[in-house]
Amino acid sequence: MTALPTRRRGTRAAVALAGIALLTAGLSACSNATGDSSSDDSDNSSDSQGRPGSVDGVDDVVLSSNVGPRKAVPVNHVVRVKASNGTITKVLVKAAGAEPIKGTLASDGSTWHATQLLEPGTTYVVRTTTENADGDVDNSSRRFTTVDLTLDQQTYAAVAPLEGETVGVGMPIIVNFDLPVTDKKAFEKHMTVTTTPAQKGTWHWMSDTLVHYRPAAYWKAGSDVTVDLDINALPAGQGIYGQDSRTVSFHVGDAVISKVNAQTHQMKTFVNGKLVRTTPITTGKAGFTTRSGVKVIMEKYRTKRMNSETVGIPAGSSDAYDIDDVEYAMRVTSSGEFLHAAPWSVGSQGYANVSHGCTGMSTENAAWIYNISKRGDVVEYTGTDRPMTLDNGYGDWNESFATYKQGSAL
């Protein structure tokens, strides 16, 4: 399995969002002011008479803004600009070296508001172009700085699948936050999944730091999926905020689904619904029963060391093992179940269950399934009374969609 991206430490890329501040005063479009003349850090510039200036009887445009240079602006502000005696034609809110903040201008030119949140500890310049009733154009600007946040106040989202990855039809979307999200409802409202073709799905919170998404049925082979996490500056609760919005797109490849029957000791592999191979296998012996249910390939290893102590079998036990180079290993549970080559048990494959819980097969058969498999391919197990669980790896398919959906915060 390719590791999830780790938290970005080099730069801050998130801030806080709470309420929207009220517009508090006026900024004269004629002043080109960057200073502040009001005690509440709002703009309030005018002519020497304390009223908007005029030329030939036409009033100048007066602007109101909810940001100013006097105090650090809480990052929960959504920047707003309002005009009277004229219209706004353009607003540019930008920090040095960064892309402009996105925003929306009202159709009548009376107001502009940001549709994107701010970064912490950052100085922005607001440049506004206005036009009065006579068509006179004017420009104004002012700057403001946002409140800073430490990395311990920001939660970073690592996303799987990775950008551009091709996965199997059973691959859940996995978002792992490095700090807890307690305001799950607010976050989930800003977490969207778009599929082509369209497919119904839902988020399911496994914990405060882990959330999965799956469609109602396996992904349709050939689907394209985009995950959009618009969480930058969003309050996660308990003084923590989203660090970086994320967009990840991936592709769903062929539907490779294997069906393992622990009683018949056979594995049937289907590609896009067509049976392509039947493989003799062995599964877990008494005391090490293989779990029945839907499993998903999580990781692939051309060779892997397997040591019984990692699954609770102590060294020195009659069941202990330590093999340096198990070939063609593919993990299907967090608890340690794999599909892999087991040349030592070929005589039992197709006849008996002799493993410690893994699905063993000949080296030739293991190489074949390994080479056609990818992360997210499905392995469905039947024939034992030990159930697979939701949280044992990518166990998302072991609940009905109706039950799984109850894990959503919405």
Active site residues: 340, 358
For the record, the structure tokens of 187 come out as: 């976050």
Residue 261, SS3? strand
Q: Sign of torsion, CA 402 403 407 410? A: positive
Amino acid at 203: W
- The helix/strand/coil state of 89 is strand
Q: How far apart are CA 315 and CA 113, in angstroms?
A: 65
In terms of phi and psi (left: phi > 0; alpha: psi -120 to 50; beta: otherwise), the region of 164 is left
CA distance 394 to 367: 23
Distance of CA 49 to the CA centre of its chain: 54
Outline where 92-233 has alpha helix (H). 184-189
For residue 352, the one-letter residue type is A
Task: Considering only CA atoms, give the Rg of the chain.
Answer: 29
Q: What is the SS3 assignment for 6-23?
A: CCCCCCCCECCCCCCCCC
How far apart CA 257 and CA 274 sit, in angstroms, is 10
Strands 54-55 and 58-59: antiparallel
Distance CA 108, CA 89 (A): 10
Residues 214 and 378: their CA atoms lie apart, in Å, by: 13
227 forms beta bridges with: 193, 248
The rounded distance, in Å, linking the Cα atoms of 250 and 269 is 24
- 355 and 337 in contact (C-beta within 8 Å)? no
Q: Are 157 and 177 in contact (CB under 8 A)?
A: yes
What is the Cα–Cα distance from 340 to 350, expressed in whole angstroms? 15
Q: Which residue type occupies 150?
A: T
- Can you tell me the distance from the alpha carbon of 399 to that of 410, in angstroms, rounded to the nearest whole number? 18
